[in-house]
Amino acid sequence: MKITRQCMLTGMLVLLAVCAFASPAAADSYLGGDPLVTANGTYGTVDGGLWFDAYPGFSFAYTTPVTKTFSLPFDVEDVDWARLYVATYIGNMQENKPLNTTVEFDGTGLGNYKLLGSEIMNTTYTYPGLGGSGTVWINDHCNRVTSDCLMWYDVTDEIDSSNVTARVHTAHPDGSAPFDGRVKMITLVVAYNDGVGETIHYWVNQGHDTSSYWDDNYIGTTTFNVGTALDGEEVGDADLTAIYLGSYNGNYTFEDTHLDWSNPKQGSYFGHQTWDVTGLIDEVSNNTLEFTRNGTQSGSYSGYFKIPLVLLTVEEN
């Protein structure tokens, strides 16, 4: 799915999530979690756009792996930045249900899979609201928040074909069947150049944030340094996308304006929604998105909401 097109090269990439081991500045005080920040994702400029596609199912990956093929709608030589995200379901929000998630990637389109990671989750999760520590860091590219294991891999240099495939397998660390291990999400995000448009600034804000009825006062936020990035340039088109993990979408407010709500649910526990925010962008300051669970709608799952990614593109006019 394309968020926006057009634009012009000025590549700038900002940090990986080394600083992600720091304690979160804010999170649901009962469930825990980590806020979405640009430092955990990336910021840059391109002249093409920011594109993503996702596997939204909820299928077991033992013994048959779950695969997702991505068809890139641009030349592979134009890829400026690419990251693969995977989320697997542990099966319990607190208990230790050991899970080994193996992620492979075929960037050639020829079935030549490369191992990106074999991540072993073998720990309990404890709620901060009950005196626990919250987010469990397995390593610098994988963590557990409640019942989900989220992992991410930079694949910029792995893409050599317009058709690339991710393959995810789950098992107990001893190789036997896991307690659960279903795959919630496989998402590929790519920033690319095409040499035909204006400069586009893009932000990938990444975290593993939650919002629940246990902490009704919590409102999650994520901020984009638009004013600094634009440096006096006027705004053209701007698009915002929220990618969430849950069966019920949250409520969103961007720059104090409530965004239209829907519950797209592209998967059983996965969804994404995109808004045109061109008229809402503050050209001289930071821009902030607020989000929280949708407790105003009926539904069995409106008490819990989780979000790992928000994408923003802002075109220079």
**For residue 298, is pLDDT > 70?**
no
- Taking residues 156-166, report their average pLDDT: 98
User: Look-up: residue for tokens 């992600």?
Assistant: 20
pLDDT tens per residue across span 86-99: 999 999 999 999 99
User: Residue 13's pLDDT is what?
Assistant: 31
- Strand runs (DSSP E) across 72-162, as ranges? 79-89, 99-106, 114-121, 136-139, 142-145, 148-154
CB-CB contact of 53 with 16 (8 Å): no
User: Residue 303's pLDDT is what?
Assistant: 84
Q: Provide the domain limits for residue 41.
A: 2-316
Calculate the average pLDDT of the chain.
91
Can you tell me the distance from the alpha carbon of 291 to that of 243, in angstroms, rounded to the nearest whole number?
12
pLDDT tens per residue across span 214-243: 998 999 999 999 999 999 999 999 999 999
**Banded pLDDT at 32 (limits 50, 70, 90):** very high
- Beta partners for residue 191, in sequence order: 50, 81
3-class secondary-structure state, position 160: coil
Torsion of CA 312, 183, 211, 283, to 10 degrees: 0
User: Look-up: residue for tokens 């920011």?
Assistant: 50
Indicate the number of domains in the chain: 1
- Taking residues 136-146, report their average pLDDT: 98
Q: Which value, in Å, is the radius of gyration of the alpha carbons in the chain?
A: 19
3-class secondary-structure state, position 129: helix
**Banded pLDDT at 197 (limits 50, 70, 90):** confident
pLDDT tens per residue across span 266-285: 999 999 999 999 999 999 99
